[in-house]
Amino acid sequence: MRVIMMGTGPFAVPAFQWLLGSTHDVLALVTRPAPPTRRRSQPPVSPVREVAVQQGLPVLMPPDVNATEFHANLQALSPDLLVVCDYGQILSRESLGIAPLGGINLHGSLLPQYRGAAPVNYAIWNGDRETGVTAIHMTPRLDAGPVVAVCPVTIGDAEDAVSLEARLADRGAACLEDALRQLEHWDGIGPLGVQQDNALASRAPRLKKTDGLVDWQQPAERIYNQVRALKPWPGSFTFLPQGEQTSRLILHQVAVEQGSDMPVDPGVVVHVDRHQLWVGTGRDLLSLQRVQLPGKRAMEVSELLQGHTITTGVRFVND
C-alpha cells in the first residue's frame, strides 16, 4: 500500500520504523511544526522527523493539516492510506477522505477507555493493572473509530509514565502490523473492525501544570500513583514551609506505608529519620524518598534533611 505517515512525538517512532522496513511504500511524513522558542536557538526537531530525514523521506509540516490548500499536497502523492500516531491534531472528514482506505490511528490505551491526549498518564494515575495499544479505523471524532487491533500490556506496580509509554510505543509497531494485515484483506464493503461502545468511554484530557499539585486529603496510594503518572511533566509537587515563605517541592519517588493505626493529619509530617520522612494522607502514610527543590537537582530525602530542618508536625501546604 502507498502510505503517508503522520506523527510528531516519540510514541510514533517504533511504528514509523516498522513501517519503513515493511513492504509498504511510505510516501512522506507529515509532522507538526516545532513550537517557537523564546531564545535564538533552533527549535527542537521531532524524533519522528529525525527518522524521516535519515531515510531521505519528504517531510511536510503544515500549520493546519485540515487546510484546503494543504490537501492538494497530499492528493498529489496519491496515498492509499494514512497512518496516524501521536500527531497532535484531529483530522477532518475531508483530510481522511484523501486516502481511499482512510486512516489507521494508534492510541495508547484500550479504547474506548482514555480517549484523549494523556491515556498513559491516566491509566497509571487511576491505578489500572492493564492498558495497551489500540489501532482504530479513523473517524472525525476523537479516538472513536472502529477497533481493528488491540495489543494489551500489563502495568508494573512501580512503573512510571516514561517507562510505560516507551513499552507501549514498542507494542504499537506490532499493533500496526496486525491492523494493516487486516486492512489488506478488507473488501472495502463491510465494516472494518468492531464499533466502540461509547457508553464505556472515558476521557484522558491533556495534562495541565496544576494537575501536579498534591492533595494530601487523597489516600497515599492515589498520591503514589500520581507521582508515577505525572513523570516527567508536570511532575507532582507540594509546598514546604520555610519561615514566612514556601518552596515548591517536587516528589520524584515515594512509597506507601500501609496499615498504620497512628492518627494522622493529612499533609503533616508524622515521623522523620535520617533517610525518609512520613507524611499523613487521607488514608495511610506516604514516605518521601527522593525530592527536588527549585533550581536544585533531584536529591535523596536524607540530603534534603541535612540542609533543611523538617520536624514532626510540619505541614505541607498547597501554595
Q: What is the CATH classification number for the domain harbouring 231? A: 3.10.25.10
**Amino acid letter at 159?**
E
In this structure, the answer to whether residues 195 and 222 fall within a common structural domain is no
In this structure, the answer to whether residues 252 and 164 fall within a common structural domain is no
Q: Among residues 135, 242, 137, 123, which one has the least CA distance to residue 191?
A: 137
Helix 47-54 vs helix 13-21: angle between axes, to the nearest 10 degrees? Answer: 20
Count of helices and strands (H, E) across the chain: 8, 13
pLDDT range class, residue 254, cuts 50, 70, 90: very high
pLDDT digits (tens, 9 = 90+) for 16-67: 999 999 999 999 999 999 877 666 556 567 899 999 999 999 999 999 999 9
Measure the CA–CA gap between 229 and 25, rounded to whole angstroms: 37
At 175, list the grid cell.
499493533
Q: What is the CATH classification number for the domain harbouring 79? A: 3.40.50.170
pTM for this predicted structure: 0.94
Q: Among residues 190, 200, 244, 234, which one has the least CA distance to residue 214?
A: 234
The total of structural domains in the chain comes to: 2
In this structure, the answer to whether residues 223 and 132 fall within a common structural domain is no
In this structure, the answer to whether residues 189 and 238 fall within a common structural domain is no
**Section 182-198 average pLDDT:** 91
Enclosing domain of residue 261:
209-307
pLDDT digits (tens, 9 = 90+) for 32-44: 998 776 665 565 6
Identify whether the C-beta of residue 172 lies closer than 8 Å to the C-beta of residue 15: yes
* Side-chain half-sphere CA neighbours of 116 within 13 A: 15
Hey, how many other C-beta atoms are within 10 angstroms of the C-beta on 10?
14
DSSP secondary structure code for residue 57 in this structure? -
In this structure, the answer to whether residues 14 and 97 fall within a common structural domain is yes
Q: Among residues 196, 312, 298, which one has the least CA distance to residue 264?
A: 312
In this structure, the answer to whether residues 172 and 68 fall within a common structural domain is yes
SS3 (DSSP) at 193? coil
